[in-house]
Structure 1
Amino acid sequence: MMKQLWLNLPVKDVNQSRAFFTQIGCQLNTHGNTETSASIVIGGSTVMLYDEKAFKSFVNNEVSDSQKCTEMLISFDVESKEEADEIAKNVLLAGGRTAHQPKEMDGWLYGFVFSDLDGHRWNVVYMDISKMPNN
């Protein structure tokens, strides 16, 4: 039985990435924080940030340049529009980039996309399920 989802991402500077994610509101995990890794918690999931050399050592493959291409879009939801707005503000203060300011989409979604220091793309959304169209 599968128990947890862990995302593993390569980063150029673990300390800078650790600082970035804590500044935007993520919590550090109680384990996995070393010189070559940072472990952050988003909701019930763990995101492991490894320096590129350590990451390459266990994937046995080259690391894509996430500044030039998007390998995936990592989405997480928040509890309110105000929380999305706060994260957007903190992303910019921490040195990240946003594709747009938080905005309403499709009448029931509110959020924005940002890039972290290494160019990984993240999608922050508030979902008002009561306004979600019936499919």
Structure 2
Amino acid sequence: MARLIFVNLPVDDLERSKLFYEAIGARNEPKFSNEAAAMMVLSDTIHIMLLTKPFYSTFTSKPIADAHSSSQVILCVSCASAAEVDQLVEVAAANGGRADPGPKQDMGGMMYGRSFEDPDGHHWEPMWMDPQMAEQGAHPVESVTADS
């Protein structure tokens, strides 16, 4: 069985968040949704659990970060093409998200990525990588300093 991932995100307005994630291609799974949570299926293996902040708080004693002003995680998701990356960012922006909070990554036809934030500020990074580059794997990165 394939391992599944359930990304749990605290949200201010559950209905607004459901509409946003439906707009970018997720579907709601009503069997695991109620007035406090909604399961949004992004793919066969990626599920987004939208949790109202009071419900989210039942799973942790830590304060909930304001994703508009701080960063804890960047959620990267693969796309089939660079055009799909652009389309996803445009759809996100047109449906209450914010386009390109991070820098665009264009590696000359080998890799391409952009970013968007959902209405609650959660940072997503759709990316496409040339399949041949993926086969070759990572290469050493030259260190970058503030003086560069």
Instruction: State whether residues 36 and 51 of structure 1, in contact with CA within 8 Å, keep that contact through their aligned partners in structure 2.
Output: yes
- Give matches, 1:39-118, under 5 Å: 39-43=39-43, 44-99=45-100, 104-105=106-107, 107-118=109-120
Instruction: Determine which structure has the larger strand proportion and give its number.
Output: 1
> What is the rounded CA distance, in whole Å, between the counterparts of 1:105 and 1:95 in structure 2?
28
Q: How many residues matched?
A: 135
Contact 2:25-2:42 within 8 A present in 1 as well = no
Runs of 4+ in 1 over 3 A off after TM superposition: 100-103, 131-135
8 Å contact 2:89–2:114 — kept in the other structure?
Answer: yes
Amino acid at match of 2:61: N
> Based on CA coordinates, which of the two structures has the bigger radius of gyration?
2
2: CA distance between counterparts of 1:122 and 1:91?
A: 10
Q: Over aligned residue pairs, what C-alpha RMSD do you find?
A: 2.3
Give percent identity, aligned residues only.
26
Q: What TM-score do the two structures reach when normalised by structure 1? A: 0.87
Corresponding letter in the other structure for 1:31: K
Superposed displacement of residue 80, structure 1 = 1.5
Residue segments in structure 2 that go unaligned for 5+ positions in a row: 140-148
**AA paired with 2:37?**
S
User: Are residues 1:129 and 2:131 paired?
Assistant: yes
Unaligned regions of 5+ residues in structure 1, if any?
A: none
* CA apart distance, 1:25: 1.5
